[in-house]
Chains A and B, each alone.
Chain A
Amino acid sequence: MECMISRTDDAEAELVVRAQAGDHRAFALLVGRYQDPVFRFVLRMCGIRDEAMDLTQDTFLKAYRALPAWRPEARFRTWLFQIAHNATLDVLRRRQRVEFVPFAEDAPEGAILEATDPAPTPEQALADRQRIVLLERALRELPAEQREVLLLREVEDMSYAEIAATLGIGEGTVKSRLARARVAALAHYRGHAGENRDE
């Protein structure tokens, strides 16, 4: 499996090198491979389809312009998501919708454990569709920095090292931020399920 991943990476690196040499077709192949993952990520981050489409296109054009700076040591996907992440944050900052909720990365462990209820919860009884609606709602309401770390792990299946490189933070921070993001998402489930019961 690892060997297969390595071969995929090599083939991809070859495409990037060709694109660096001015081969538009090679770059188009890379765009075709990553257009949906990048779009998915920026759409979940910014929440507006038209804006996400513009951001996706912008990401690839920025990537093309920055191609001379790409080095084979960097995985292309990580590098591309780094560009997408920065472009998205710029837009969110301009919209002043980004909410950097200050919280200590080293909060006491007990505080996290208290946030989830170990007992069986009513969510388990909800239909799948209802839970998806809740998850989408939770994602919209989470602070951007928790949302992005969850999306990169759960949707894009990135390792902690890859997430750290994409977001420009340490692996330890990824580890704790991801745990907090999961707790926050689960707390939203519980909160909204409670609201639904009250309705």
Chain B
Amino acid sequence: MNEHRPDMIELSAYFDGELDPARQRSVAAHLAACPACAAQFDLLRMLAADFERLPAETLGFDLAGVIEGRLAAAPRPQPRHDRGWRGLLPVSVGAAASVACGIAMGFALFGGAAAAPRVALMSVFDTMPPGSLCIGLESCYTNGAKR
């Protein structure tokens, strides 16, 4: 009898009906003949019965209604698909537009409009101040008066 004595792991699995059919039968036969193992088995039964008597805890309100309300406001979850190269199309178009825009701006800054600031800069070294007013020699005004 002892050579087939089930350990607690087997007894527990037997109680749950999780042993293979042959072992399930041999444990049943052992329990019928072994009071010690039968007592152990009774403890497992008692424990399971006590679990059944535990108070049935409930949430106490309709969570479904709450969740439904929240979901109505939330965006729908999108399945993740592998979109391949088409998925990258908007990104590449955007990148190309950014580069083109950058080139155009650079051209505008350092191309046609670049001359004007240079002239303004050079005028600092001119003998004539802006507005053609000479703050220097008197002859300047004399020359103008002759004319």
| Complex CA–CA separation, A58 to B34 (angstroms) | 49
| Residue B78 lies at the interface, judged by CB distance under 8 Å to chain A | yes
Majority-rule SS of B interface residues: helix
Q: List, in ascending order, chain B residues with CB within 8 A of A112's CB.
A: 7-9
Q: List, in ascending order, chain B residues with CB within 8 A of A154's CB.
A: 47-48, 51
Q: List, in ascending order, chain B residues with CB within 8 A of A113's CB.
A: 7-8, 40
16 new A-B contacts, CB < 8 A, other than A68-B77, A112-B9, are: A22-B76, A31-B68, A36-B56, A36-B58, A39-B58, A40-B58, A56-B63, A57-B63, A57-B67, A128-B50, A132-B50, A132-B54, A178-B12, A178-B16, A179-B12, A186-B47
Q: Are B63 and A24 in contact (CB under 8 A)?
A: no
Q: List, in ascending order, chain A residues with CB within 8 A of B9's CB.
A: 109, 112, 175-176, 179
Shortest B125–chain A CB gap in Å is: 70
Given A135-B51, A135-B54, A186-B43, answer yes or no on A109-B59 (Cβ-Cβ < 8 Å): no
| Residue A17 lies at the interface, judged by CB distance under 8 Å to chain B | no
Q: List, in ascending order, chain B residues with CB within 8 A of A98's CB.
A: none
Q: List, in ascending order, chain B residues with CB within 8 A of A118's CB.
A: 35-37, 39-40
The listed residue (B35, B59, B65) touching A53 by CB distance below 8 A is B59
Residue of A nearest to B41 (CB): A118
Interface size class of B (residues with CB under 8 A): 35 or more
| Residue A155 lies at the interface, judged by CB distance under 8 Å to chain B | yes
Q: Are B50 and A131 in contact (CB under 8 A)?
A: yes
Q: List, in ascending order, chain A residues with CB within 8 A of B62's CB.
A: 32
| Complex CA–CA separation, A143 to B29 (angstroms) | 34
Shortest B1–chain A CB gap in Å is: 15
Q: List, in ascending order, chain A residues with CB within 8 A of B79's CB.
A: 20, 68
Lowest 5 A-B CB distances belong to which pairs? Answer: A109-B7, A179-B12, A154-B51, A112-B8, A68-B79
Q: Are A61 and B59 in contact (CB under 8 A)?
A: no
